Structure 1
Amino acid sequence: MKTLVVAEKPSVAESLAKVLKADQKNRHYYEGKDYIVTWALGHLMTLKMPEDYKKEWQTWTFDTLPLLPKQMETKPLPKTRAQLKAIQTLGKRSDIKEAVIATDAGREGELVARWILEYIRFNKPVKRLWISSQTDKAIKDGFAHLRPAKDYDNLYSAAKARATADWLIGLNVTRALTVKYNDNLSAGRVQTPTLGLVAKQEALINQFKPQTYYTLSFVTKHGDAQMQGNPRLTLEKAQALQLELQDETAVVTEIKAKNKRQKAPLPYDLTELQKDANQRYQFSAKKTLNLLQMLYEQYKVVTYPRTDSKYLTSDLKNTMQERLIAISRYEPQAKKLAAKKAPVLQQQVFNDAKVGDHYGLIPTEQMPQAERFSNDEQKIYNLIVERFIGLFLPDYQEAQQQYSLRLKTTTFVLKVTQVTVAGFKQVELTSQNITKFNKGTVMAGKLTLNKQLTQAPKPLSEATLLVQMEKDGLGTPATRAEIIEKIISTGLMERTGRHVKVTPKGNQLLKLVNPSLTSPKLTAQWETELEQIAAGQLSQQKFVTQIRDATVDLVKEVKNSSADYKDFNLTAKVCPKCGAHLREKQTRNGVLLVCSNQNCDYYRRRDPKVTNHRCPQCHKKMILLTGEKGDYFKCTNCNLTQKVTDIKKHKKMSKHEETQLLKKVNADDEPQESPLAQALKAAMTRK
């Protein structure tokens, strides 16, 4: 008898199959003596679309809102049916005794596998693999300690509750806004309050009025002394004080000495790594997560990426030397530490109580093959290694001397610092001894007047937005990158250099929806309740009932709203089919002109797209255009046209296209189509 193992992606299935000796490769699975290892492609299942419940729900009208299915149901995603059918066939084999869920060890991974097993009606025992790294050692250990799947039923309930909430809030409010204002206006349980954070910061910047102020400094060869309390002065007062003190001598009246210690920072959690990568390298949160996934899955050199903890469990203590040895060829400092079997000095990192599903990001016991890393992968790996090595290094220490200098009746403060122990910072120590002064010492210097300007709040970067989302409980480490990308892709927010900015469309959206949906307070409460469901402290039904009630109220408010809306993307061009104006729509493949009439499906490209398809007459590249009967190729050289359907008719997915699909799935650990994203995408593209 054999065990059916369901992984989340082909690359993970390959790693599992290698360890489990399932070395017979088939199109949809690996098979061995004891195990059959198959995989999903992100999600294979999704929540049903509105029209799958009732035909009349297909029409976008207020008459059908709110959409409230009695029970949420799932259906297969069309693009991945073949893989789902293969899993279904495997599940029915008589030699399969049980299944092991080996999808990502988290809420979304649980949903991926459970929906598949429910769809294929798998009625044999199910166990759960829960590991935090993809090394052979971790996999073997994980399979030696499998747990019953029922131990994770609460996690599955939380995942279903999250999917249901996003469907109800997202689809209903988006459809209500779109119908009301005749434009594609996407709203959501998490994305709208996230957009609200950016808008709130922009409002603070717009309201800010800079003010000029002045300070006095006493400049010495030992450093600049600032007025005690560093007060902000008017020009008149600063000039008068400078004139009063300019001939006075500075006398040391008080001395304060202290030693400052700073411990090495804890390992990264996902959010902090995304923040640092954005600040240092301008990587988006999505890019950092993708790079991290490669290091985790393909190279197996880091632990589970989607962690919200910076601490390690105590059982990892006896693995730290092995991990240090593994990176010793990569990092010279690690080699020195490994040679002398250096212990972990930052013992505060071991705290079982502060580790949830996964511990902090650290290197695995697998030796890195750095020559295989891309430039960007190496940058992310270096950040993780740097934090890990810091755990073996002593505290950073510096000696601080603070002198109070009296000039007549005014006190200035001079701070002098000297590094005494470089510790984890590994900075160079200054060999020169700093001059120390005694009380009563007269110090030479010069008064300077400094003109300064109050600074406006800084616009949010992706790094500071991530920090704010974490602080306000918006999303999880696993979903925040996807949320930011979704807001940008729907035209509500844009990247401007290192910062993010709300678009005019986004600002209007925030005025059209209920304030409770633009504030993080309610959404953060919902996220907390999802965690409570996962912990078995709250029922899924109670949460969903609350979301259904909120959905009714939000839709009703949009219906009754008298707010004005201006469509900034509406053009003067007219639809040839119905006469309505065309709207510009930004897509991955360029700008489309889409009919603004909700019941018309006409669209065309704004600009001709040069393709690799060659003209059969002159062999030059043809452009792709859209007419009343669909897409067609046109040669700008000889004006010959050719229907796209004539070329693509009955064409099956090529091996190259299949490889590209797998490559995309393996490179991006976000679900291929999340339940809400799939529904919204399909619905919005028809608008």
Structure 2
Amino acid sequence: MTIRRLFIAEKPDLAKAIRDGLGGGKSQDGYFQCGPDAVTWCFGHMLQLCDPEDYDPKYKKWNMADLPFSHVPWKKKVASDKKDQVKKIMALLKQAREVVHAGDPDDEGQLLIDELLEFAKCTLPVKRVLINDNNLKVVQKALANLRDNQEFAPLSAAAEARSVGDQLYGYNLTRAYTLKAQNQGHQGVLSVGRVQTPILGLVVRRCRLNASHQKSFYYSVTGDFDIQGLNFNGRYLVKDTDMVDEKKRLLDEAQAKQIAQDATGHTAILASVKTEAKQTPPPLPYNLLKLQTDASRKFGLKPDQVKSITQTLREKYKLITYNRSDCEYLSDEQHGDVPGVLTAIGQTAPIFANLIGKSNPGIKSRAFNSAKVSAHHAIIPTEATADLTKLTDAEQKIYLLIARAYIAQFFPNYCYDRTDILINVGKHQFTASAEVPTRMGWKALYKNDQDNEDLAQDEHILACDLRILKQHDQGKCIKASAEKKETKPPALYTMATLLSDLTRVAKYVKDERLRKTLIEKDKHKQGEHGGIGTPATRDSIIKTLFDRGFLAEQGKSIVSTPIGEKLYDALPDQAKYPDMTAIWHEQQKALKTKQDVVGFVQNLMGYIGREVESIKQSGSVKLADSVPCPKCTKPMNRIAIPGKQAFWGCSDREGCKTTLPDAGGKPGQPKPKATVSAQFKCQACGNGLIRRTGKKGKKAYAFWGCSGYPACKQSYEDKLGKPVITVTPDDKNFSYNPVPDPTHLV
């Protein structure tokens, strides 16, 4: 069989869209046959860079003498779980006369197919199709506009340079810092990465700013006014001659009190009254980061949990579109799908049926703008339906968030009248502002949403109606008062605020040129303004920082641990600020060919080599001050195992074996030692019982176990703090209520 054109799509969904765009086709083993053409697919990146030990087995053991290492040219291998599909693609390539590259229209999508063709040593002509929306009309238009794939070689080169650079940078510096620290008895990995380490830096610096805050005071003067029978508060408007701080706040207590005294009881005259009709459009549909932010704020879900949930909603239930998007916009063509999507939402989530009935599918909100759609459009519901009760609680919550944001696009803008007034009281002036809703519009869907930045309103905006006032109206300042206020330290990060900050870290770059470079990197990305990381990687990077013990949670706040701070202090500024990403982007703009990428890597290895040599020559990488074991006084080590709760263990593993719980990155207090009951005896052996706790899944429970364990494994259910014993001690035919094996103790 000869294939005229072999389309290779980045993912199965896109392959199906291309099949439909070609007029349909027959499903085969790993591809669709569409007349003389065939459409096959990848599952994201099918290849991965070889690990150091793939080049030489000696690299499997971490050894400072082997650093730095690099391999030019580098090699790639097929991901272990994708070998079957790669074999099918290779077989199809042998039958094809031409290839059509259908990766996502961004640098990673370009590399994904290019590297596969290079791996296959493909010499066929290659065309490129650019599809960022699976809408049939969009796909058909793209298929009619194929381009030469060589035009996009610079995109592929930039992505490859970043991939190889990240691996060499991370592997070399992680091993170097870890090995140096292990010489001091530290256990665990000190991971370093181009994105990971600047994120750690953000948290460390915020924690230190918060801790080092020097409180100071300022003064706020407010007046209680009565004008035309309307009672409201106004704020003092500072003059150029007042003593103020950088935020235009009064600093002199005596002056503040004098202003309040001057205004109290005196005539108030309205110098100006201005009312303006305003409106606010609905929030845009979700991208992954905004969804993770809202899910953290509302439900306390971790970013990696949200990504996993959206993957399930997409792949298992087909309820939402591509879930790793960084875009908040939709194509113009998708407006034609609105009736079908709204109907599906109403069937899946009847709770929205009434609101959908009030919506207007004819409204075309600002979200429908093809020019602003990047490699993917926003995350929205599909026309598929499901029984919502069959979903987990978290899956329901995420689906409902996505659905609500979509429904909001078909409600009118929120409309309100904004009134601003200026009040003269003798030689002083006060201001007041108020907003009166004239049409709730989309806000009807969000009225119970707390702490939503899309609903946030200036704390100084009054809820009263100032529209009845007019210029020159007179009244009185009944009373004015000066209030002493304390400056607040920068707030510690929460998961929501950290995720939000990752999209605009350029503001923390010290070098102005690099700051502009980082912002320029995102010029075609909506919702990003000089960020680091991607929607697909940020959550896993943050999770790694927690798993390694560099970050910890204190309530809802995210804080750096002593180990995280010591690692931060040991690193050069270029590593712990976002500068590295900006430098790489600047260099990658000039890359056109594979040889250019080689030059970039060789230049990077010069920097890595100098850093590794500096680590080798340094006396030590001083980490957290040693915490003595409470039993033997030897150093304690924090042990973080992915997926499990971190704890502290004595470095004398063979002799002491003392462990302590982790408390915000520091050793916590040991759990109280279980006491043997003198009152309750084991019915099997006569030893005293001990009340213990265990877990069934995530649910904790109490039970009573024999103090003779493990020789005696008798156990009893707990009821109101007492063991449930159904026999008397002298009953030889006793029975008991079994509970799970006490080896599951927590």
Is TM more than 0.5 here? yes
Q: Residues 410, 589 of structure 1: CA spacing in aligned structure 2 closer, same or farther, 3 A cutoff?
A: closer
Aligned to 2:412: 394
CA offsets, 1:587-622, max 9 Å, x none? 13456889989xx999999699xxxxxxxxx9xxxx
Aligned to 1:516: 574
Aligned to 2:236: 227
SS at match of 1:391: helix
Aligned to 1:671: none
Q: 1:637 is matched with which residue: 703, 710, 714?
A: 710
CA offsets, 1:23-52, max 9 Å, x none? 88xxxx689998999987776643223233
Aligned to 2:211: 206
Q: How big is the shift at 1:512?
A: 1.3
Aligned to 1:540: 597
Q: Residues 370, 110 of structure 1: CA spacing in aligned structure 2 closer, same or farther, 3 A cutoff?
A: farther
Q: Does 1:196 align with 2:201?
A: yes
Aligned to 1:65: 67
Q: Residues 606, 31 of structure 1: CA spacing in aligned structure 2 closer, same or farther, 3 A cutoff?
A: farther
Q: 2:377 is matched with which residue: 351, 359, 380?
A: 359
Aligned to 1:406: 424
Superposition TM-score, scaled by structure 1 size: 0.72
Q: Residues 16, 492 of structure 1: CA spacing in aligned structure 2 closer, same or farther, 3 A cutoff?
A: farther
Q: Residues 194, 203 of structure 1: CA spacing in aligned structure 2 closer, same or farther, 3 A cutoff?
A: same
Q: Does 1:477 align with 2:543?
A: no
Q: Residues 92, 50 of structure 1: CA spacing in aligned structure 2 closer, same or farther, 3 A cutoff?
A: same
Equivalent pair of 1:134/1:303 in contact (CA under 8 Å): no
User: Number of residue pairs matched?
Assistant: 598
Q: Does 1:236 align with 2:293?
A: no
Q: How big is the shift at 1:457?
A: 0.8
Return 297-306 or 135-144, whichever deviates more.
135-144
Q: Residues 443, 367 of structure 1: CA spacing in aligned structure 2 closer, same or farther, 3 A cutoff?
A: farther
Q: How big is the shift at 1:96?
A: 5.6
Q: How big is the shift at 1:191?
A: 0.8
Alignment of 1:30-109 (within 5 A): 45-76=47-78, 80=81, 84=83, 87-88=86-87, 91-92=90-91, 97=96
User: Matched residues in 1 for 2:355 and 2:133: separation?
Assistant: 21
User: Matched residues in 2 for 1:590 and 1:257: separation?
Assistant: 57
Q: How big is the shift at 1:171?
A: 0.8
Q: Residues 136, 402 of structure 1: CA spacing in aligned structure 2 closer, same or farther, 3 A cutoff?
A: closer
Equivalent pair of 2:361/2:410 in contact (CA under 8 Å): no
Aligned to 2:167: 167
Aligned to 1:415: 433
Q: How big is the shift at 1:504?
A: 1.0
User: Matched residues in 2 for 1:165 and 1:249: separation?
Assistant: 70
Equivalent pair of 1:226/1:412 in contact (CA under 8 Å): yes
User: Matched residues in 1 for 2:547 and 2:17: separation?
Assistant: 33
User: Matched residues in 1 for 2:660 and 2:255: separation?
Assistant: 63
SS at match of 1:215: strand
Q: Residues 603, 157 of structure 1: CA spacing in aligned structure 2 closer, same or farther, 3 A cutoff?
A: farther
SS at match of 2:406: helix
| Letter in structure 2 aligned against 1:225 | G
Q: How big is the shift at 1:388?
A: 2.9
User: Matched residues in 2 for 1:440 and 1:537: separation?
Assistant: 75
Q: Using CA pairs below 8 Å that are at least 6 residues apart, which structure has the higher relative contact order? A: 1
Equivalent pair of 2:138/2:333 in contact (CA under 8 Å): no
Equivalent pair of 2:435/2:464 in contact (CA under 8 Å): no
SS at match of 1:364: coil
Alignment of 1:257-296 (within 5 A): 257-296=275-314
User: Matched residues in 2 for 1:573 and 1:140: separation?
Assistant: 71
Q: Residues 254, 45 of structure 1: CA spacing in aligned structure 2 closer, same or farther, 3 A cutoff?
A: closer
Aligned to 2:561: 503
Superposition TM-score, scaled by structure 2 size: 0.67
Q: 2:499 is matched with which residue: 454, 461, 466?
A: 466
| Letter in structure 2 aligned against 1:48 | C
Equivalent pair of 1:324/1:334 in contact (CA under 8 Å): no
Bigger-Rg structure (1/2): 2
User: Matched residues in 2 for 1:236 and 1:198: separation?
Assistant: 39
Equivalent pair of 2:419/2:467 in contact (CA under 8 Å): no
User: Matched residues in 2 for 1:601 and 1:109: separation?
Assistant: 51
Q: Does 1:554 align with 2:611?
A: yes
Q: Residues 56, 162 of structure 1: CA spacing in aligned structure 2 closer, same or farther, 3 A cutoff?
A: same
Alignment of 1:141-160 (within 5 A): 153-160=153-160
Q: 1:436 is matched with which residue: 469, 490, 508?
A: 469
Q: How big is the shift at 1:76?
A: 4.8
SS at match of 1:222: strand
CA offsets, 1:515-546, max 9 Å, x none? 1111112223324655776x999943343233
Aligned to 2:688: none
Equivalent pair of 1:328/1:335 in contact (CA under 8 Å): yes
Q: Percent identity?
A: 27
Alignment of 1:282-681 (within 5 A): 282-329=300-347, 330=349, 331-332=352-353, 335-336=356-357, 341-344=361-364, 346=365, 348-367=366-385, 369-426=387-444, 435-443=468-476, 445-472=478-505, 473-527=531-585, 539-562=596-619, 565-567=622-624, 583-587=637-641, 588-589=643-644, 636-638=709-711
Q: How big is the shift at 1:565?
A: 0.6
Q: 1:245 is matched with which residue: 254, 263, 282?
A: 263
RMSD, aligned α-carbons:
4.8
Q: How big is the shift at 1:126?
A: 7.4
SS at match of 2:180: helix
Q: Residues 130, 371 of structure 1: CA spacing in aligned structure 2 closer, same or farther, 3 A cutoff?
A: farther
SS at match of 2:214: coil
User: Matched residues in 2 for 1:85 and 1:602: separation?
Assistant: 49
User: Matched residues in 2 for 1:503 and 1:518: separation?
Assistant: 16
User: Matched residues in 2 for 1:163 and 1:544: separation?
Assistant: 10
User: Matched residues in 2 for 1:639 and 1:607: separation?
Assistant: 27
For structure 1, the 5+ residue unaligned runs are: 609-617, 624-634, 641-687
Equivalent pair of 1:57/1:67 in contact (CA under 8 Å): no
Q: Does 1:176 align with 2:249?
A: no
CA offsets, 1:383-434, max 9 Å, x none? 3333333433333222222333333322222323211232332389x99996
CA offsets, 1:47-104, max 9 Å, x none? 2232332455445343322112122112355x64xx5257437744899658887887
Equivalent pair of 2:549/2:638 in contact (CA under 8 Å): no
| Letter in structure 2 aligned against 1:469 | L
User: Matched residues in 2 for 1:586 and 1:367: separation?
Assistant: 41
Equivalent pair of 1:532/1:538 in contact (CA under 8 Å): no
More helix by share: 1
SS at match of 1:545: helix
Q: Residues 592, 85 of structure 1: CA spacing in aligned structure 2 closer, same or farther, 3 A cutoff?
A: farther
Q: Residues 595, 454 of structure 1: CA spacing in aligned structure 2 closer, same or farther, 3 A cutoff?
A: closer
User: Matched residues in 2 for 1:209 and 1:318: separation?
Assistant: 57
User: Matched residues in 2 for 1:169 and 1:70: separation?
Assistant: 14
Equivalent pair of 2:73/2:598 in contact (CA under 8 Å): no
Q: How big is the shift at 1:505?
A: 1.0
| Letter in structure 2 aligned against 1:420 | T
Return 459-468 or 261-270, whichever deviates more.
261-270
For structure 2, the 5+ residue unaligned runs are: 239-247, 448-462, 506-530, 662-684, 686-693, 695-707, 714-746
| Letter in structure 2 aligned against 1:483 | I
